Amino acid sequence: MTKLEKHLHIVSFDVPFPADYGGVIDVFYKIKALHELGVKIHLHCFEYGRGQRKELEDYCAEVHYYNRKSGHHGFSNKLPYIVCSRSDDGLLKNLLKDDYPVLLEGIHCTYFLNNERLAHRKVLLRLHNVEYRYYKNLFHQERSLPKKIYYLNESRLLKKYEHAIAYNVPVLAISQQDAISFHDELGLNEISYLPVFHPVEQVGCMEGLGCYCLYHGNLSVAENEAAVIWLLKNVFNELKLPFVIAGKKPSTRLQKLAHKHSHTCLVADPGEQEMVDIICKAQINILPSFNNTGIKLKLLNAVFNGRHCVASKNAVALTGLETECYLAQTADDFKQWIAQLYEKPFTWSLIKEREALLLESFDNRKNAQQLIASIW
């Protein structure tokens, strides 16, 4: 190894390819940006359904896979399931083969953080959410009683665990809101904001008028399904404008509700490019949210590929994207903004405004350089 070479272990909570949902999008495009800057990445993935992906070898010096424990094997009375289920001894053995720095992606990957054999290693923790809040919100949105019990218990365990673990390493928050929460609630001082890594290399917004209102996201997530149902029952029940819902794995219940009215419809499991096309052709991207942790990748997609965006305060608070959204809180707020914007053309000056914002705050290369400076 030459003096100029930089090697980094990245431990990912999931296989980060394809980059098709929130957390892995940040991981994959971070890997890609670091690779382009010459960092030799040693990637460690917990695999539990997405399979091994040769595409990752284009960006990594080596890729290791570990099985995530399932069912009762991953449960503990003291540790959150998302942590205990990622406790493969093979990971620790591979990390101890050298003295390269380690980046842990998510609280999920911290099982070995307190191991004395890593005591003198440079280790950083990337937090994707205030997880205990995220699971508390899932508890409120979930309809299944067994899942509600699981989410509530996981939230309880995570609150204790996050409070204890985050003192041990420098923390990189994915949003300014999360950085403030960890500082104020947990008293963390060694925490900094590192913006989300994303696939948007250039603004894809189109001038003029679009054809419909849009909600997009992973529809298998309880929070997202609840947001869509809220829009269908409280906004588009009276507002008879075309409303398209697009995303992964919608439930049968959601599909039935979405096709109940002639002006609403659902596009299930669109491909990556198809989703971008759907966002680009919308007149208004609509983003209600029931929590204010992390950053919504669908918000970033909407701002940099879509036209007008109407979002709840929770979705945009301290994301750096506040100026690009019309803020709504109640159903009446959403109705008023949608009615006002539906026939308002999107202008070239608004597109240039968004380009300036992207270059200022969400440039993957610049943020990868910031990460490199934090490590070395």
Q: Which residue has the higher pLDDT, 355 or 58?
A: 58
Percent of the chain topping pLDDT 70: 98
CB 92 within 8 A of CB 14: no
Among 6-10, 57-61, 67-71, the least confident range: 67-71
pTM above 0.85, yes or no: yes
Summarize the confidence of residues 52-62 as an average pLDDT: 97
Per-residue pLDDT at 268:
96
Is 6-199+362-375's fold the same as 213-360's? yes
Taking all residues of the chain, what is their mean pLDDT, rounded to a whole number?
A: 91
Q: Give pLDDT tens digits for 126-173.
A: 999 889 988 998 898 888 899 999 999 999 999 999 888 766 788 999
Domain boundaries, the chain: 6-199+362-375, 213-360
Which residues face 267 on adjacent strands?
Answer: 246
CA distances from 302 to 18, 199, 296, 299 (A): 20, 12, 10, 5
Q: Which residue has the higher pLDDT, 5 or 3?
A: 5
CB 103 within 8 A of CB 9: yes
Q: Give pLDDT tens digits for 248-283.
A: 999 999 999 999 999 999 999 998 889 999 999 999
Q: Which residue has the higher pLDDT, 357 or 123?
A: 123
Per-residue pLDDT at 294:
67
Options 3.40.1350.10, 3.40.50.2000, 3.40.1390.20, 3.40.190.150; CATH for 213-360 is: 3.40.50.2000
Percent of the chain topping pLDDT 90: 68
Among 143-157, 166-180, 206-220, 229-243, the least confident range: 166-180
Tell whether the model's pLDDT for residue 197 goes beyond 50: yes
Per-residue pLDDT at 291:
74
DSSP string, 64-123: EEEEPP-GGGG--SSS-HHHHTS--HHHHHHHTTS---EEEESGGG-TTTT-GGGTTS-E
- Name the CATH architecture for the domain at 6-199+362-375: 3-Layer(aba) Sandwich (3.40)
Report the distance separating Cα 76 and Cα 95, nearest Å.
Answer: 24
3: confidence class by pLDDT, cuts 50, 70, 90: low
Q: Give pLDDT tens digits for 290-322.
A: 776 667 788 888 998 999 999 998 888 878 888
Summarize the confidence of residues 49-58 as an average pLDDT: 96
Burial class (CB in 10 A: 0-12, 13-18, 19+), 202: exposed
CB 267 within 8 A of CB 290: no
- Residue with tokens 């995530």, as numbered in its chain: 68
Per-residue pLDDT at 119:
87
Tell whether the model's pLDDT for residue 186 goes beyond 80: no
DSSP category for residue 271: -
How far from each other are the two terminal CA atoms of the chain, in whole angstroms? 16
Per-residue pLDDT at 1:
46
Name the most confidently modeled range: 74-83, 335-344, 354-363: 335-344
Structure tokens at 102: 């380690």
